Amino acid sequence: MAAILGISAFYHDSAACLVRDGEIVAAAQEERFTRKKHDAGFPRHAVAYCLAAGGLTVGALDYVGFYDKPLLKFERLLEQYLGVAPRGLAQFVTAMPVWLRDKLFTRRLILKELPDFTGEVLFTEHHESHAASAFFPSPFAQAAVLTMDGVGEWATSSYGVGSGSDLRLLAELHYPHSLGMLYSAFTYYTGFKVNSGEYKVMGLAPYGEPRYADLILDRLVELRDDGSFKLDMRYFDYLRGLTMTNGAFAALFGGPPRRPESPLTQREMDIAASVQEVTEEIVLRMARHVHRETGMKDLCLAGGVALNCVGNGRLLREGPFERLWIQPAAGDAGGAVGVALAVHHLVLGGERHVPSEGDAMHGSYLGPAFTDDAIEATLRAAGAVYERLAEPALLDRTARLLADEAVVGWFQGRMEFGPRALGARSILGDPRSPHMQSVLNLKIKYRESFRPFAPSILREHLAEWFALDVDSPYMLLVAPVRDEHRIPMTAEQERLFGIEKLNVPRSTIPAVTHVDYSARIQTVHAETNPLYHALLERFHALTGCPVLVNTSFNVRGEPIVCAPEDAWRCFMRTEMDHLVIGSFVLDKTKQAPLPDDGSWRRQYELD
């Protein structure tokens, strides 16, 4: 029974995963422990957690897998710099020291961090890790696989076929022609942070019109019918500079990049809508080509672009595949899962067991859990005032608080793996409230007002509320609210532009309905999260609504909370009304305020 530790590290979102006898035992991102967003360092805390969750010591591990091949990536970097020399010197000088000190010697660094390990260290290619993370945990016995991100070693997108315990990649696109880099360039240009703010561009897109889509396809992207493409690198600076775009790009789109945190204009909204439309068109063409080449009826997705849930929803509606499955940690963190499963199946020949229901990710609840004793010790040490309730009373109280429009921090069970809060480390609200979106954005999350919130819904009621009737447990599909729940806009409201649209209720659940009547849906299942499912049932019985607002338990720039002390701090620093943590309920009005000069907000870099 092989014990395999998968590691992703050194770029962004470092993570660790423990696989034993082919089963995912534990997985977590390093950022959750260090409280440093997108922490790229060696995931020593995540490794320690995974080993503890599996009851193992380092010496009991049989293999350690790393999610890409550093030497191959170094080769690509050298070719890149030589290809643009003498330009690109600043980027070369910035990148080389860390490569020559650490990244080239990843095997040695792993052995230094795991001194009692006596097994073998193995490496997979980056997109092989993505593909393995997509197919092996999926509910499909066989399927096509499509991976899309910024760049691995050379590959930026790839496709292949998985069948049983086998996985073969058939073709790939190479750097610098990258869908992920294209989207990141527009993320930078619209004033958001690369590798963090891409989802803001996606959220901003419905406020605009795709007026620049033809310009993008005419001047930036040479797109072919099979979804392959080339970027005109005269407009981009990421090959040779320290920014994503250059002066030619700015001239093409009528001005310099938006200054971060400055007011958003209609131009940024239209640019966001345009790059989103182009991205969706590329993904659709890729998928159609993969379908033609593989003949498969199901598709698995991974890579950072697979977190574009708007595109995923369109692919499900308009694409050629009957079913989709998307790795919930589709970005680099999921590479830790992928490499561990690749070692088990592709190196060791381990058998693959396809679950009869759901998938092998266990709802993505793969992180730490805390006992009531541990939680109570934290609350006592903090001087908190709390009430302990048995489960039925806890659920009834929480449902009533939510129905009364309270904002509730919800901390229960094992922490989620991946970028989404799925009802274990969540902030919850009443979706029927017309004020909930602005309250959550401005008083709890301290983030931009335009950003939408997601609904959690009982799976058994999904089709009654949304134009979707497939599982979406990982909040990775966007679908429209059904017509009967929509509120038609008046003629005057139809004439509104941009952010003016924000405060117009679109449906009977306005807090989770975006300006285009869409929603990023999480279906909640009794099998994977019985407590959260039971809370939704109580709320449904009380209100007739089987939906809750679900956003991640953190403030802007902070990783999702991991431990009880993280939850307590976040609860006390924001205008959250109540905290429900384990068996305990806390009322903000009964707590002594923390001494606070506001300096804690500078602890977290803005995302």
Could you report the per-residue pLDDT of 167-177, keeping only the tens digit for each? 999 999 999 99
Helices 89-101 and 70-84, axial angle in degrees (round to 10): 160
CA distance 253 to 237: 15
**Tokens at residue 309, please?**
């849930």
Are 275 and 201 spatial neighbours (Cβ–Cβ below 8 Å)? yes
Residue 4, φ and ψ in degrees, nearest 5: -125, 130
Selection from 322, 332, 317 nearest residue 299 by Cα: 322
What 3-state class would DSSP assign to 555?
A: coil
The answer, yes or no, to whether residue 239 has pLDDT greater than 90, is: no
Are 437 and 452 spatial neighbours (Cβ–Cβ below 8 Å)? yes
Handedness of CA 176, 177, 182, 183 (dihedral sign): negative
HSE of 595, CA atoms in CB hemisphere, 13 A: 0
For the chain, how far is it from start to end, CA to CA, in angstroms?
41
Are 546 and 465 spatial neighbours (Cβ–Cβ below 8 Å)? yes
Could you report the per-residue pLDDT of 375-431, keeping only the tens digit for each? 999 999 999 999 999 999 999 999 999 999 999 999 999 999 999 999 999 999 999
Residue 449, φ and ψ in degrees, nearest 5: -70, -25
What 3-state class would DSSP assign to 557?
A: coil
Place of tokens 């977190």: 307
pLDDT at 83: 73
Beta bridge partners of 345: none
**Tokens at residue 394, please?**
């806890």
**Tokens at residue 365, please?**
């609840």
Confidence band, pLDDT 50/70/90 cuts, at residue 597: low
CA distance 207 to 325: 28
Selection from 378, 368, 369, 443 nearest residue 405 by Cα: 443
The answer, yes or no, to whether residue 493 has pLDDT greater than 80, is: no
Mean per-residue pLDDT over the chain, rounded: 94
Q: DSSP class of residue 418?
A: S
Residue 151, φ and ψ in degrees, nearest 5: -165, 145
The answer, yes or no, to whether residue 570 has pLDDT greater than 70, is: yes
pLDDT at 601: 65
What 3-state class would DSSP assign to 236?
A: strand
The radius of gyration computed from the CA coordinates of the chain, to the nearest angstrom, equals 23
CA distance 85 to 261: 34
Q: DSSP class of residue 425?
A: E
Q: DSSP class of residue 473?
A: T
Are 300 and 138 spatial neighbours (Cβ–Cβ below 8 Å)? yes
The answer, yes or no, to whether residue 34 has pLDDT greater than 90, is: yes
Indicate the burial class of 211 (C-beta count within 10 angstroms; 0-12, 13-18, 19 or more): middle
Selection from 580, 578, 596, 598 nearest residue 588 by Cα: 578
Confidence band, pLDDT 50/70/90 cuts, at residue 87: confident
What 3-state class would DSSP assign to 449?
A: coil
pLDDT at 602: 66
CA distance 342 to 131: 9
DSSP letters, 151-199, are -SSSEEEEEEEEETTEEEEEEEEETT--HHHHHHHHHHHTT--TTTSHH
The answer, yes or no, to whether residue 97 has pLDDT greater than 80, is: no
The answer, yes or no, to whether residue 449 has pLDDT greater than 90, is: no
Please give the average per-residue pLDDT across 62-81, as a whole number: 88
The answer, yes or no, to whether residue 100 has pLDDT greater than 70, is: no
Selection from 386, 398, 443, 424 nearest residue 592 by Cα: 386
CA distance 62 to 545: 49
How far apart, in Å, are the Cα atoms of 96 and each of 91, 99, 458?
9, 5, 50
The answer, yes or no, to whether residue 3 has pLDDT greater than 90, is: yes
Could you report the per-residue pLDDT of 202-231, keeping only the tens digit for each? 999 999 999 999 999 999 999 999 999 999
CB within 8 Å of 296: residues ≥ 6 apart? 142, 143, 144, 161, 290, 321
Are 27 and 336 spatial neighbours (Cβ–Cβ below 8 Å)? yes
CA distance 526 to 569: 30
Could you report the per-residue pLDDT of 322-337, keeping only the tens digit for each? 999 999 999 999 999 9
pLDDT at 504: 82
**Cis (ω within 30 of 0) for the bond into 176?**
yes
353 is catalytic: no
pTM value is 0.95
pLDDT above 90 as % of the chain: 84
Are 531 and 482 spatial neighbours (Cβ–Cβ below 8 Å)? no
Are 241 and 91 spatial neighbours (Cβ–Cβ below 8 Å)? yes
Can you give the three-state secondary structure of 369-407, one letter per residue?
A: CCCHHHHHHHHHHHCCCCEECCHHHHHHHHHHHHHCCCC
Q: DSSP class of residue 590?
A: G
How many other β-carbons are positioned within 10 Å of the β-carbon of residue 565?
A: 14
Q: DSSP class of residue 241?
A: S
HSE of 104, CA atoms in CB hemisphere, 13 A: 12
The answer, yes or no, to whether residue 491 has pLDDT greater than 80, is: no
Could you report the per-residue pLDDT of 270-325, keeping only the tens digit for each? 999 999 999 999 999 999 999 999 999 999 999 999 999 999 999 999 999 999 99
Name all contacts of 57-61 with Cβ < 8 Å and 24+ positions apart. 57/116, 58/114, 58/115, 58/116, 58/117, 59/116, 59/117, 59/118, 60/3, 61/3, 61/4, 61/5, 61/114, 61/117, 61/119
Q: What is the set of domains in the chain, with CATH numbers? A: 3-127+333-362 (3.30.420.40), 179-323 (3.30.420.40), 372-603 (3.90.870.20)
Confidence band, pLDDT 50/70/90 cuts, at residue 444: confident
Confidence band, pLDDT 50/70/90 cuts, at residue 603: confident
